[in-house]
């Protein structure tokens, strides 16, 4: 069977082509033994903590909210800092604040506000970004100068200064680890190693909670150079800046880096430190998503237990910052979001019983380090057993496509191979093997399991969801729509780019803009629309925004690139239409909207410019959201009891489901039992919070529910939940 999981379409394979002779069938394994695996994280690990004492995989950035476009290391104004931090902290998928340098004096307040623990730097001051003792800055240069003068620091004073700094903050619950100063010490320098010994012992003595110690080690250090730093340090954190190291076309440098870390200190906590600090050439920018995904998943496939990116800082001439940032945030959600892949990398048990043989493309790649060269398989392959399944991470480090056969899988017509991080769905693999094709630098995370276990896993995926704050980024206006592979939503503008102030109205106009659903990251300039909410949909290959005019009518604008917009065009929309939501079913467009008397109506159109008189749905509510799936229309709306979903085949007859049905949650498909936990929690919390709106979108077979709610103090937040939904079960 040739199953190209790198293609953008979903493949559901009903039959397979046997690749090998019956000799392979003779190797059929004991299914029970194959799927035997850990079922849960041991109880001693903190449910809300980070590895190694907690259950979550650490994922964070250096310089969280730091820097400006004028100067790296410059402290931005508070509005800019909070905006950048809220963007990164959205959803709490990024669960660690890395060393903050110039922001170290703010880091505990930032950690508390964002509810994310930090790596605290033992600095004398943020201005120095290191340690000062007896009027001298502790640094490599200082140590070299002292050595020439035949003297050393007063090590007792050094130790006491460090103890005093640590003691002042040691009781903070927002410290995950300590960043030991000064960075980039040299193992061949006697005074550097004395500094390491004194500093680490002083921190351990002053910290009653025994939190781990970290120091950045330079990108070029190998295992021999790093070995003397341990076990004084706990976290092995060597730079893996592939492009910066001149290894742009030899990205197996990441694999070499993780190998050196493990040789240097096998018992350590191994972090991957990928890069985000220099621009790509214009012709290379389209490669950034592949670079980021390769580097992170290659690190994880080769033993990384934490991801710490250098860095989130704004800096001059770094036009690719947002592109890099969004790619890393996407992976953070894969690891620490609803799929919980981070748990797999931390607590899954390694197995070596599967074969992966390259049959086309380069079988090996090589890495040069100074005068030596190391050859590796072009495919990194990690095979982990977890919760009755196998999780396979396969990363192509070659700059060419590679095809390989995955063999020794159990036999059975119910064995499913599922692509967890791509867009290609799942495939039945009954004959024990499958052929996989990898694009250059492509990373795949695959899950092998029996179909009945896949169903159970999807139920658990949804049932474990909790309300996740996205950030105070304004009131969501429209149902998200998929556009060129991204999920976009229309929001009221929370950010004025020219004045850097939070605002809702400017010069008598209310502005709205398109943002990425889930992060609030702007993807379009502000659009000067009327203050009433608009909606966004795709029509004739263009992204179209439909909005109410100030004179009471409606207009639309369209764009093919989110930058250049057409002139407003008048649109015929039924009178009294509020909060319109548009979707397409077969060849007809439907618009659900709220009337002024609180009813929900549905209009139809053959053209996006002219809508027919609407029919009453028989439903009452507000903030409708419309979606088509399984040849049916689904309408999500809110009323005084919370949020509801209704279904119709023709738009005329509607059935209200009290709850959303998650496949297959119960034996009787008509028994709808579970509302998304976030919405259910919100409805029960009505005494303190007001549900403003709920909207739905379907992307990559995952139902995503977005909802806004208002606190008693008037603060508006946007949150979401997601999971697998069986639309076919709702009639």
Q: Is 413 inside a domain boundary? A: yes
Q: How far apart are CA 664 and CA 662, in angstroms?
A: 6
Higher pLDDT, 604 or 672: 604
Closest C-alpha to 434, from 420, 422, 419: 419
Judgement on whether residues 190 and 114 belong to the same structural domain of the protein:
yes
Beta-carbon count within 10 A of 615 CB: 13
Check whether residue 427 and residue 509 sit in a common domain: no
How far is CA 191 from each of CA 146, 147, 165, 198, 517, rounded to the nearest angstrom? 9, 8, 22, 10, 52
Distance of alpha carbon 427 from alpha carbon 405, whole angstroms: 15
For residue 727, the model assigns a pLDDT of 58
Q: Say whether pLDDT at 716 is over 70.
A: no
Which DSSP category does 723 fall into? E
Q: Which of 463, 497, 515 marks a domain boundary? A: 463
Assess contact for 495 and 504: CB atoms under 8 A.
no
> Rounded mean pLDDT of 491-506?
35
**Residue 303 predicted with pLDDT over 50:** yes
Q: Which carries the bigger pLDDT value, residue 455 or residue 556?
A: 556
**Residue 72: pLDDT band by 50, 70, 90 thresholds?**
confident
Angle at 308 between CA 304 and CA 312, to 5 degrees: 155
Asked whether residue 122 falls in the same domain as residue 187, the answer is yes
658 plus 554 within the same structural domain: yes
Q: Which domain holds residue 474?
A: 468-729
Hey, is 598 helix, strand or coil? coil
Please report the pLDDT score of residue 622 as a whole number. 72
608 has pLDDT over 80: no
Calpha distance 699→701 (Å, rounded): 5
- The answer to whether position 571 is within a domain reads yes
Give yes or no: residues 342 and 355 share one domain. Answer: no
8 Å CB contact between 438 and 421: no
Q: 216-248 pLDDT, tens per residue?
A: 999 999 999 999 999 999 999 999 999 999 999
Q: Is residue 8 part of a domain?
A: yes
| 369 and 515 together in one domain | no
User: Two tokens at 529?
Assistant: 């629309």
Question: Please, what is the angle between helix 190-206 and helix 140-149, to 10°?
Answer: 120
* Kind of pairing between the strands at 509-516 and 505-506: antiparallel
pLDDT of residue 27: 40
In this predicted structure, what is the pLDDT of residue 588? 80
DSSP codes joined into one string, 42-76:
-TTSEEEEETTTEEEPPEEESSTT---SS-TTPPP
- Looking at the structure, do residues 528 and 568 belong to the same domain, yes or no? yes
Please determine, for residue 508, whether its predicted confidence score (pLDDT) is greater than 60: no
- The answer to whether residues 610 and 553 touch, using CB atoms and an 8 Å cutoff, is no
pLDDT digits (tens, 9 = 90+) for 182-212: 999 999 999 999 999 999 999 999 999 999 9
Q: Which of 122-136, 156-170, 241-255, 349-363 shows the lowest mean pLDDT across its residues? A: 122-136
pLDDT at 104 over 50: yes
The stretch 457-484 carries a mean pLDDT of 46
pLDDT score recorded for residue 533: 58
C-alpha–C-alpha distance, residues 635 and 647, integer Å: 6
Record the tokens describing residue 426, joined without a space: 């799942």
pLDDT at 450 over 50: yes
pLDDT of residue 631: 78
Same domain, 328 and 364: no
> How far lies 435's CA from each of 161, 351, 410, 448, 711, in Å?
60, 20, 15, 14, 52
Answer yes or no: is pLDDT of 547 > 80. Answer: no
**What confidence score (pLDDT) does residue 200 get?**
98
Query: Predicted confidence band at 18 (pLDDT cuts at 50, 70, 90)?
Result: very low
Identify the top-confidence range among 37-41, 390-394, 702-706: 390-394
Residue with tokens 């009221």: 492
Predicted confidence (pLDDT) at residue 596 exceeds the cutoff of 70: yes
The sign of the dihedral angle between the CA atoms of 613, 618, 622, 626 is negative
CATH number of the structural domain spanning residue 449: 2.60.40.1180
Q: How far apart are CA 36 and CA 41, in angstroms?
A: 15
In the DSSP assignment, the letter for residue 310 is B
pLDDT at 689: 55
Return the pLDDT at 582: 81
Q: What is the rounded average pLDDT of the residues 6-18?
A: 30
The confidence score (pLDDT) of residue 8 equals: 30
**What's the pLDDT band for 321 if we cut at 50, 70, 90?**
very high
CB neighbours of 200 closer than 8 A, spacing ≥ 6? 180, 213, 232, 233
- Do residue 482 and residue 604 come from a single domain? yes
The pLDDT score that the predictor gives to residue 710 is 60
* Averaged pLDDT for residues 350-356: 97
The answer to which of 92-96, 331-335, 642-646 has the lowest mean pLDDT is: 642-646
Q: Give the end-to-end CA distance of the chain in Å, rounded to a whole number.
A: 37
48: in domain: no
Name the strand (E) or helix (H) holding 632: strand 632-639
In this structure, what DSSP letter does residue 153 have? -
> Which pLDDT score, from 0 to 100, does residue 670 have?
23
Q: Is the pLDDT of residue 709 over 90?
A: no
- Residue that terminates a domain, selected from 314, 347, 380: 347
* Helix, strand, or coil (residue 347): helix
Task: Give the Å distances, CA to CA, from 309 to 52, 64, 306.
Answer: 19, 10, 10
* The pLDDT value given to residue 600: 87
- Mean pLDDT of all residues in 70-78: 87
* pLDDT of amino acid 520: 58
Q: For 684, phi and psi rounded to 5 degrees?
A: -70, -20
**Separation in Å, CA 662 to CA 310, 350, 673, 679:** 40, 31, 8, 14
What pLDDT is recorded for position 695? 62
Of the given ranges (294-298, 360-364, 389-393, 516-520), which has the lowest mean pLDDT?
Answer: 516-520
CATH number at residue 656: 2.115.10.20
pLDDT computed for residue 700 by the predictor? 58
3-class secondary structure, 296: helix
Report pTM.
0.67
Half-sphere exposure of 275 (CA within 13 A, CB side): 23
Percent of the chain with pLDDT over 90: 49
**Residue whose structure tokens are 């340690």:** 131
The answer as to whether 535 is a domain residue is yes
Confidence at residue 440, expressed as pLDDT on a 0 to 100 scale:
98
More confident residue, 507 or 394: 394
Is residue 633, in this structure, part of any structural domain at all?
A: yes
In a domain, 547, yes or no: yes
Buried b vs exposed e over 307-320: b needs ≥16 C-beta within 10 Å? bbbbbbbbbeebeb
Q: What is the CATH number of the domain that holds 99?
A: 3.20.20.80
- Range scoring the smallest mean pLDDT among 137-141, 162-166, 680-684, 686-690: 680-684
Residues 565 and 675 in one domain: yes
φ/ψ (deg, to 5) at 284? -105, -5
Q: Quick one: pLDDT at residue 589?
A: 82
Contacts of 664 (CB under 8 A, 6+ apart): 455, 459, 726, 729
pLDDT band at residue 29 using 50, 70 and 90 as cut-offs: low
The predicted model gives 597-611 an average pLDDT of 79
Judged against a pLDDT cut of 90, whether residue 326 lies above it is answered with no
Q: Which residues pair with 589 in a beta bridge?
A: 584, 605
From the list 63, 128, 61, the residue with the least C-alpha distance to 94 is: 61
Total domains in the chain come to: 3
pLDDT score recorded for residue 519: 55
516 and 625 inside one domain: yes
Maximum CA extent, the chain? 92
* Within a domain: 151: no
Which of 322, 347, 372 is the C-terminal boundary of a domain? Answer: 347
Q: Which of 121, 89, 86 is nearest to 106 (CA)?
A: 121
CA distance 470 to 393: 29
Q: Does residue 508 sit in the same domain as residue 618?
A: yes
* Residue 121: its H or E element: strand 118-121
Query: In the predicted model, what is the mean pLDDT of the chain?
Result: 79
């Amino acid at each position: 069977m040739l199953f190209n999981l790198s293609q953008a379409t979903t493949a559901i394979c009903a039959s397979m082509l046997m690749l090998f002779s019956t000799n392979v069938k003779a190797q059929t394994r004991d299914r029970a033994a194959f799927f035997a695996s850990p079922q849960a994280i041991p109880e001693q690990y903190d449910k809300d903590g980070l590895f190694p004492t907690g259950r979550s995989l650490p994922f964070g950035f250096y310089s969280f909210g730091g820097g400006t476009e004028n100067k790296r290391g410059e402290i931005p104004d508070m509005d800019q800092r909070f905006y950048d931090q809220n963007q990164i902290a959205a959803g709490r998928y990024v669960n660690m604040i890395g060393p903050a340098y110039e922001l170290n004096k703010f880091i505990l307040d930032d950690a508390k506000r964002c509810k994310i623990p930090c790596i605290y730097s033992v600095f004398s001051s943020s201005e120095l970004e290191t340690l000062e003792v007896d009027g001298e800055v502790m640094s490599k240069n200082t140590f070299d100068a002292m050595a020439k003068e035949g003297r050393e620091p007063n090590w007792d004073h050094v130790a006491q200064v460090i103890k005093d700094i640590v003691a002042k903050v040691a009781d903070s619950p927002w410290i995950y680890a300590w960043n030991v100063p000064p960075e980039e010490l040299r193992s061949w320098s006697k005074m550097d190693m004395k500094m390491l010994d004194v500093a680490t012992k002083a921190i351990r003595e002053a910290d009653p909670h025994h939190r781990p110690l970290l120091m950045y080690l330079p990108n070029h250090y190998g295992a021999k150079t790093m070995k003397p730093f341990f076990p004084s340090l706990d976290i092995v954190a060597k730079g893996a800046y592939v492009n910066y190291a001149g290894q742009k076309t030899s990205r197996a440098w990441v694999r070499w880096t993780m190998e050196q870390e493990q040789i240097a200190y096998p018992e350590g906590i191994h972090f991957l430190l990928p890069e985000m600090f220099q621009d790509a050439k214009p012709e290379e920018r389209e490669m950034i998503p592949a670079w980021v995904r390769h580097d992170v998943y290659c690190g994880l496939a080769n033993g990384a237990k934490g991801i710490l990116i250098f860095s989130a800082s704004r800096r001059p001439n770094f036009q690719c910052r947002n592109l890099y940032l969004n790619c890393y945030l996407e992976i953070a959600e894969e690891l620490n979001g609803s799929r919980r892949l981070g748990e797999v990398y931390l607590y899954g048990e390694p197995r070596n019983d599967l074969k992966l043989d390259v049959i086309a493309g380069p079988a090996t790649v090589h890495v040069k380090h100074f005068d030596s060269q190391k050859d590796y398989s072009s495919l990194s392959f990690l095979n982990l057993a977890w919760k009755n399944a196998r999780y396979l991470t396969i990363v192509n480090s070659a700059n060419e496509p590679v095809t390989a056969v995955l063999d020794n899988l159990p036999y059975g017509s119910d064995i499913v191979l599922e692509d967890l991080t791509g867009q290609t769905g799942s495939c039945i693999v009954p004959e024990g093997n499958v052929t996989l094709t990898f694009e250059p630098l492509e990373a795949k995370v695959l899950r092998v399991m029996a179909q009945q276990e896949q169903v159970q896993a999807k139920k658990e995926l949804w049932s474990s969801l909790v309300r996740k704050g996205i950030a105070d980024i304004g009131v969501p206006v429209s149902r998200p729509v998929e556009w060129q592979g991204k999920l976009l939503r229309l929001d009221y503008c929370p950010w004025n780019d020219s004045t850097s102030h939070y605002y809702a109205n400017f010069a008598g106009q209310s502005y709205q803009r398109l943002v990425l659903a889930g992060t609030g990251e702007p993807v379009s300039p502000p659009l000067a629309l009327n203050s009433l909410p608009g909606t966004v949909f795709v029509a004739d290959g263009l992204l179209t925004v439909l909005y109410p005019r100030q004179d009471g009518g409606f207009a639309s604008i369209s764009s093919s690139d989110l930058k250049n917009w057409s002139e407003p065009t008048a649109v015929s929309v039924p009178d009294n239409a509020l909060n319109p939501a548009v979707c397409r079913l077969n060849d007809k467009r439907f618009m659900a909207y709220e009337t002024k008397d609180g009813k929900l109506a549905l209009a139809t159109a053959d053209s996006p410019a002219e809508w027919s008189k609407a029919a009453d749905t028989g439903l009452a509510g507000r903030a409708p959201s419309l979606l088509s799936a399984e040849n049916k229309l689904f309408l999500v709306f809110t009323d005084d009891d919370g949020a509801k979903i209704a279904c119709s085949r023709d738009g005329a007859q509607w059935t209200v489901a009290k709850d959303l049905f998650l496949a297959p949650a119960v034996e009787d498909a008509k028994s709808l039992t579970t509302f998304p936990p976030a919405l259910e929690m919100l409805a029960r919390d009505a005494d303190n919070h007001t549900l403003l709106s709920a909207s739905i979108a379907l992307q990559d077979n995952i139902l995503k529910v977005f909802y806004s709610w208002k606190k008693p103090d008037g603060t508006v937040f946007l949150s979401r939940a997601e999971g697998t939904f069986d639309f076919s079960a709702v009639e």
